[in-house]
Amino acid sequence: MDGDRISAGGGKVTLQRLAVELGLSTATVSLALRDSPVVAEETRLRVQDVARARGYVANRGAASLRTARTNIIGVGLHDIINPSFTELLAALEEALSAAGKTVLLGVGQEDVTRQTRILGTLAEYRPDAFIVSPAAGTGVDDLRALAISGIAVVQVTREVEGSGFDFAGSDDVTGVSLAVSHLVALGHRRIAMIGGFDAASTGRRRLEGYQAGLAAHGLAYDPTLWASGRGTREHGRLAVEALLRLPDPPTAAVCFNDLCAFGALMGIQAAGLTAGADFSIVGYDDIGEAALWHPALTTVFTRIPEYGVAAAKLALARIADPQRPMERTVLEPHLVVRASTGPAKSAKHRAG
């Protein structure tokens, strides 16, 4: 009933097939489908109608072979359960998909070997760019290897110093020192830092911010108050418990990230103390969950969604012009005061 022109027609529907059916060349069909001005209006409409009726779906793999452009962006993160990376991924996906790009996802799990394998696989799909938050310990050469076939590389959140690739992230030194200043203003003098490790740029910078914050108020840096480690709930909890057992325990802590801080809040509660009153905690990132904790977490908003979008923009710009000078987008973080911090109790104030 619905015409013989739109018959079932067996196999896959390709440009070839459409061309034959329309009595045109593949060249014309290809141009018509992409709204080229050189093909006559009438022809264009006819082609597009038939393509739609036939359920034609372009094979972008084939097209990419010719055009050397895939519209794929390889995104390499080391963790996606951590909500801060989830929020980043969501921002990246949205910005890229709005620009007609599609995300090919690889998760490296904070392991350079695995990361190398995963990114190597992604590279086989010839993404137009990589957006990477490199695993701790990633070297300049690991990243260079990605760029070897002319793929743009953008770093996000973390960076490999001296790699020379674009970067979008937050000013971690300033961020953590804001946190420290807040605690000092509340009267705290023994302030710990929980989480962070040397192999990641974020670890180094946040430690630097911690030290800078202390120094700015004339406080000495005491290495026993730095509970180095990964940014997990587990580490946060264990670390705060260890700190509380010290002979001269701190009264407050800044954390490497919010996850750590949540763990610390749990540890404090488990020790029978009340966060905000007995011990102050500042998180880092301000993920969605932070506002919902009990007590709500005082933290530093690093503007993850914004720098996610910035990273996407950097990638698009570099794809458009591979020769452009290296660019760094570093956002200024904001302190968000909630209920997990409060005035220092009248603990004995040590000199220094």
Binding test (CB under 8 A) with its own copies, winner from 51, 72, 300, 315: 72
Give Cβ neighbours of residue 321 (< 8 Å, ≥ 6 apart). Answer: none
Burial of 161 (0-12, 13-18, 19+ CB in 10 A): exposed
Q: Which of 25, 97, 113, 224 binds DNA (CB under 7 A)?
A: 25
Kindly tell me which of 97 and 113 has the beta carbon lying closer to its own copies.
97
**Which of the ranges 45-53, 98-106, 196-204, 238-246 carries the binding residues for its own copies, by CB under 8 A?**
98-106
H-state helical runs in 99-253: 112-123, 140-147, 172-185, 201-216, 233-244
Q: How far is CA 273 from the centre of its chain?
A: 34
- Tell me if 65 contacts its own copies by CB under 8 A: yes
Q: What does the DSSP assignment read for 268-310? A: HHHTT--BTTTBEEE-SB--GGGGGSSSPPBEEE--HHHHHHH
Touching DNA, residues 72-111 (CB under 7 A)? none
Q: Is 233 in the site for its own copies (CB under 8 A)?
A: yes
What distance lies between CA 170 and its chain's CA centroid? 11
Q: Report the residue from 34, 328, 345, 349 that binds DNA according to the rule CB under 7 A.
A: 34
Q: Does 28 bind DNA (CB under 7 A)?
A: yes
Q: What residue 55 binds from its own copies, DNA, none (CB within 5 to 8 A, per partner kind)?
A: its own copies
Residue type at 77? L
List, in sequence order, the alpha helices (H) in the chain: 15-22, 26-33, 41-54, 60-67, 83-98, 112-123, 140-147, 172-185, 201-216, 233-244, 258-270, 304-320
Q: Total binding residues for its own copies by CB under 8 A?
A: 50
Give residues in contact with its own copies (CB under 8 A): 12-13, 55, 57-62, 64-65, 70, 72, 80-81, 83, 86-87, 89-90, 93-94, 97, 102-107, 118, 120-126, 145, 148-150, 233, 262, 266, 269, 288-289, 292-294
Give residues in contact with DNA (CB under 7 A): 12, 14-16, 23-28, 30-31, 33-34, 38-43, 56, 58-59, 62-63, 65-68
